[in-house]
Each structure stands twice: as C-alpha cells, then as structure tokens.
Amino acid sequence: MKVEDTALEGVKIVTPDRFGDARGFFSETYNQRRWEEHGLPSFCFVQDNHSLSRDIGVIRGLHFQTEPFAQDKLVRVAHGSILDVAIDIRRSSPSYGRHVAVELSAENGRQLIVPKGFAHGFCTLEPDTEVLYKVTNFHSAPHDRGLAFDDPDLDIAWPIAPERAILSEKDRRWPRLRDLAETFA
C-alpha cells in the first residue's frame, strides 16, 4: 500500500496493492490493520455510497455535512475516472479555502481520504463512471450543505467549462464560500 500526503493536512492519497494475473486483479481496498501500520486514522465507517454518472462532465458536489453529522470519506472509482476535489472549510485552518484535486480512476486504483471539515466533489472524465465512497456518519438531510462548484474564490481548474457542466438543481444553488453561513471552526 502506498500513502501520499497532499498539500492539505489530513487529505491523503492511498493506493492499495494490486495482485494481478491472467484473470484480472485482487486488491484490499480497506484494511484497518494495514492502515494503522501506515499511520492512517482508524475510521469507523458506517455507510457505503455508490454513484453512477452516465456522461463526461458530471459534477457532483461540493458537499459536506455539518456537526453532529460531519463525515470523513474514503473515495474510490470502480469504473471510469474522475477529478476528485477536497476544499478546506475549517475557518481556523491556515489552509482555509484551499483545495486539492486528484485524478482517481479504476485503472490507477487511487483513493482519497477526505476528512471532516472539508467540502468534497468530483467531475467525471469518462462516461459511465462509478464512484464508491465510505463515510463515518450517516446521511442527514438537515445537515447537508454545499459550496458552489464554480466559486471563483476557490479557483478550481475543472476539466470542463462551467456552462457545460452537468449538475443537479440542488448543486446549482449552493452558495459561495464567502457566503457560507455554517462551517467548521
């Protein structure tokens, strides 16, 4: 297993080992003991989510949940590829408002740890992309929040022009970071 730090503390890229042969490959995508051996947090995942995006340029996010339903996430791609983005929304953090963007794909096997206090979203790079993510808290609609994916203050270099992005109506209505009423301390 390979663990890489990113420019944001707590956001890490984890690439599990793959063991391949003529049939394909096998990989342990999560093993708590191995994570502890690599100094990673010991998460208690309580829910797995799976999304399918049919088209290139689907943007899901930028999502987070407020306390007491904040979530740590472990994100990976089962089919296709995405540009995965995590934004620090902890007001007291020296990296507040900064983001990291990482390409995750079924081929590269990379996973992204997105801790509590970060907004998360992705853009599909291939058709029929399937994203799986484990979370440490249950979904709670009253605590569900988000940020505008095209907030110029975030300066995210999405791989698609904003006017061509495919979003849900809900994701089109999120506020900019500067207008966010509730964030993390």
Per-residue pLDDT 10s for the chain (185 aa) are 999 999 999 999 999 999 999 999 999 999 999 999 999 998 999 999 999 999 999 999 999 999 999 999 999 999 999 999 999 999 999 999 999 999 999 999 999 999 999 999 999 999 999 999 999 999 999 999 999 999 999 999 999 999 999 999 999 999 999 999 878 88
Which residues does residue 65 pair with via DSSP β-bridges, in sequence order? 144
From 38, 50, 63, 143, the catalytic residue: 63
**96 is a catalytic site residue:** no
143 in helix, strand or coil?
A: helix
Give the pLDDT score at 183: 81
The helix or strand, by DSSP H or E, that contains position 35, with its residue range, turns out to be helix 32-37
Helix (H, G, I), strand (E, B) or coil at 123: strand
pLDDT at 153: 97
Please confirm, yes or no, whether 133 is among the known catalytic residues. yes
The amino acid at 152? P
Residue of 38, 50, 133, 139 with catalytic role: 133
Instruction: Quote the pLDDT of residue 174.
Output: 97
- 8 A C-beta contact, residue 147 and residue 85: no
Q: What pLDDT sits at residue 181?
A: 83
